[in-house]
Each structure stands twice: as C-alpha cells, then as structure tokens.
Amino acid sequence: MAISAANRLGAGSRELPARSVDRAAGPRRVSILGSTGSVGQSTVDLLSRNREDFTVEALTANNNAKLLAEQARSLGARFAAIAEPGEYAVLKDALAGTGIEIGSGRAALVEAAERPADWMMAGIVGAAGLEPTLAAIRKGRIVAFANKEVLVCAGSLFMREVLAHGATLLPVDSEHNAIWQCFDFERVHGIEKITLTCSGGPFRERSLAEMRDMTPEQAVAHPTWRMGAKISVDSATLMNKGLELIEAHHLFQLDPERIDIVVHPQSIVHGLVTYRDGSVLAHLGSPDMRTPIAYALGWPDRTPAPTKRLDLAEIGRLTFEAPDPERFPALRLAREALTRAGSPTVLNAANETAVHAFLGGEIGFLDIAATVERTLELLPGGNLDSLEDVYDLDKAARATAVQIVAKRAAARQA
C-alpha cells in the first residue's frame, strides 16, 4: 500500500485507498526532476526499457544540458528545464527543431513539477528540490521521492500538504522502499519497530586516526552502491543514515526509539519490520537502485527491471553489526536533531555545506560531523510554518556553517 496522508498525520488508523492506475486508458505520463543524477538516470533507463507503458512529460537537470537534451530526445519529452540559466543556450541549441519546450531557472523547475503528469520522480539532490516537489504535491500528484531532504528539512510541513491536497508519496530510497513493502499499514499497532540497514561505507573498518586523513576520492569510493559524490560522502560519514532516520520518522509516524539502524556490509537486506509477536519481515534484493525505482514507477503494479537476481547460495552469508557511535557521530546528531523543531533543517544545511567544503579540499573528513555539531549548537531551530520559514532557517544555517568551515580550513593551513 502507498504512503498515504491518513496514517502519516494521524487522521485515522486506516490509510487512504490505493489509487488505481487504469492501464486501459493508455501509458502512464511521468516527469523526472533531476533526470541527469544517479537516480534520474536509473529512472530513465527503466523508462527506456518499458516504452509502451510510459510517456514523458518533463525532465529537469541542474547544469548538465547536454545529457538532459539527449534524454529528452530519446524519451520524447514534452518539456526540458535546466536549473542553471547559463546552460540555457546549450539546451536550446541541442533541442532546436525537436518541438520540445524548454526553460531555465528556478521557475522552470516548478513549471516542470506542475505540468500534467500521473507520476513524478523527485530526484533533485538537496534543499533545491523542496520547492518543485512541494509544487507537485499541491497538484495532488503521485510523487516518488529520492530527495530525502524534502522530509528532513520540512517533514511536518510536507506531510500536512500531502493530506490537504490528496497527494501520494512513494519512497524510493532503498531502505524506506523496502520497509514500505513489509509494513502493515492496516495494523500499525502490531509493529514494534523498523530497522534501516547500511553498508557502513568505505571507512567501516577504519580507525578515527585513519579517517582523519581520508581524501574525497577515498570517501566517494562506495563499496556496493554507485552514487553521486555528495550522497557517497554522506554514506561514508553515516549521515545518509541519519537523514534516513528522520525521513522514516515522518513517513511511518514512529518515534525515533522505534527506528533502529544496523550495519550490513553486503547490502542485500535493505529493511526489516519487527512485529509484536516476534515476527520479522525483511526485504532482500541486489544493491541496484532500479529495483525500488521500478516498484515505485509501476505502483500498484510492478515494473520489470533488469537487476541481478539473488542467489543466496552464491552469497553464502549475510552479516550485521551495530554502528560505532564514536567513529560515526552523525547518527547521534540526527537523533538529537529530531528532538528540537527546526533542527533537522539546520542539520541538513550544515551537512551540505560541510560536505561541499570537504569535496573541495577545504576541510578534513572528520570536520564534516564536527561542523554539523557546532552549527546545531549555535542555531536553536524553531517552528517552520511555511516554505519561506524553511528557506530562512536553511540560509542561516549555511551562513553559520560557512563561518565554521572557514575557521577549520584556516586551522588546517596553520
């Protein structure tokens, strides 16, 4: 069943009925926000393999106009938007004569989200995805979202809007998608807890001393997943799992104490739901984002995906361990942030700022979590009643984090 407004906001013990998809009415019309990112490219791959089931309304990208144009041509998109205005001319030239409408800038991303579509992938990384994703929700769309920052930065606000506009959220993160498939929304009272798994990242067995000297190249070398640089660094610090903890809190309406995190290096078990009779339902699959994307893309049916099928005998063994809170303080910071209104927004903004600085060689790997912690200490957060409130707090957090980064960078140079 889908993640619906009813259980998400305590409007009742039963979720809203799953919205049926009338295949007889023709192909499902879809849009992808962030089509040139890792999740976007995986979605494009699935659409290309199932052309008879889908048509493409809109595609957007941040600054990769060349790839965006290739995707728009290949999929026959009606509209293509580039966030970076300086890339508009490149996109215009690449799509000349195709009849594909084009746009650029922030307003164009919102237009892409609002254009008529049955289903939309929200794959824009970071806080930049907030406004267009909210625009789609306000149109009552089915929104598959890989942008966890939507619920981290403005979880309560977004869930209120989902209820108000009858939208449907489908989680694409492999862990939340896995739990969604095992979660009994009709009998939530019977659930004790959920468990998110994580690979442990490239530094799972590194000491603190070793981690201090890790380079950006080492941090983005994820052992099992192919992802973008930012999310790869988040996986290395385990901040990715901290953000997912906050996301799961909003999606499944569970107290943080009922959300566990366990390290699972093989990345085969993606999520578990523990019931009060001791039963544990687990979702297994090869580490390929096309699996959860395909499930969301075809929901309530299933879309074929060319992913490697599991051979448990070949795998041989699955191992699990508790995360080390000393070497990976990001999990503690995320749990603490959940106790204060607005603090998750601060956490996310400070982390994005610190990761950017690390990738640019300004600060060290351990400085990322330290920068986030110090930013949380300096900014108290606050109630967020509108998207403007979110942006204001996000801006303040980034400014504070930039100052902290500057001091740490100067100390490294001394």
Domain with CATH 3.40.50.720 in the chain: 5-172
What SS3 state is found at 121? strand
Domain with CATH 1.10.1740.10 in the chain: 340-414
Q: Looking at residue 256, what is its pLDDT?
A: 94
**Mean of all residue pLDDT scores within the chain:** 91
DSSP string, 23-44: GGG-SEEEEEETTTSHHHHHHH
Does position 10 have pLDDT exceeding 50, yes or no?
no
In 3D space, the residue among 345, 342, 347 whose CA is nearest the CA of residue 330 turns out to be 347
pTM of the complete model beyond 0.85: yes
Q: Looking at residue 414, what is its pLDDT?
A: 75
Pull the structure tokens for residue 152.
């981290």
Under the banding of pLDDT at 50, 70 and 90, the label for residue 226 is low
Choose which CATH entry (3.40.50.720, 3.40.50.10860, 3.40.50.300, 3.30.2310.20) describes domain 5-172. Answer: 3.40.50.720
Classify domain 340-414 by CATH number. 1.10.1740.10
DSSP string, 194-255: EEEEE---TTTT--HHHHHT--HHHHT--SS----HHHHHHHHHTHHHHHHHHHHHHHHT--
Mean pLDDT confidence for 13-26: 46
Q: Give the type of residue at 95.
A: L
Q: Looking at residue 23, what is its pLDDT?
A: 52
Q: Looking at residue 133, what is its pLDDT?
A: 95
The Cβ-side half-sphere exposure at 400, using a 13 Å CA radius, reads 25
Cα separation, 288 vs 265, whole angstroms: 15
Does position 9 have pLDDT exceeding 80, yes or no?
no
Under the banding of pLDDT at 50, 70 and 90, the label for residue 58 is very high
Beta-bridged to residue 400, according to DSSP, are: none
Under the banding of pLDDT at 50, 70 and 90, the label for residue 14 is very low
Does position 275 have pLDDT exceeding 50, yes or no?
yes
Q: Looking at residue 396, what is its pLDDT?
A: 97
Q: Looking at residue 50, what is its pLDDT?
A: 95
Does position 107 have pLDDT exceeding 70, yes or no?
yes
Residue 135: partners with Cβ closer than 8 Å, 6 or more residues away: 110, 113, 114
Looking at the chain, the whole-number percentage of residues with pLDDT higher than 70 is 93
Cα separation, 149 vs 346, whole angstroms: 11
Pull the structure tokens for residue 69.
């144009």
Q: Looking at residue 236, what is its pLDDT?
A: 94
Q: Decide: 16 and 106 in contact? Cβ < 8 Å.
A: no
Query: What is the tens place of the pLDDT at every residue in 306-349?
Result: 999 999 999 999 999 999 999 999 999 999 999 999 999 999 99
Q: Looking at residue 381, what is its pLDDT?
A: 86
Evaluate the omega torsion of the peptide bond into residue 323 and state whether it is cis, within 30 degrees of 0.
Answer: no
Query: What is the tens place of the pLDDT at every residue in 117-148?
Result: 999 999 998 778 899 999 999 999 999 998 88
Provide the CA 186 distance to its chain's centre, in angstroms.
26
Using CA atoms, how far residue 11 sits from 5, 6, 160, 191, in Å, is 8, 5, 11, 18
Pull the structure tokens for residue 39.
């999740």
Catalogue the long-range contacts made by 371-374 (C-beta closer than 8 Å, 24 or more residues apart).
371/401, 371/404, 371/405, 371/408, 372/239, 372/330, 372/333, 372/347, 372/401, 373/329, 373/333, 374/404
Q: Decide: 379 and 346 in contact? Cβ < 8 Å.
A: yes
Using CA atoms, how far residue 282 sits from 12, 158, 160, 195, 273, in Å, is 26, 28, 30, 9, 7
Under the banding of pLDDT at 50, 70 and 90, the label for residue 24 is low
Under the banding of pLDDT at 50, 70 and 90, the label for residue 155 is very high
Cα separation, 282 vs 195, whole angstroms: 9
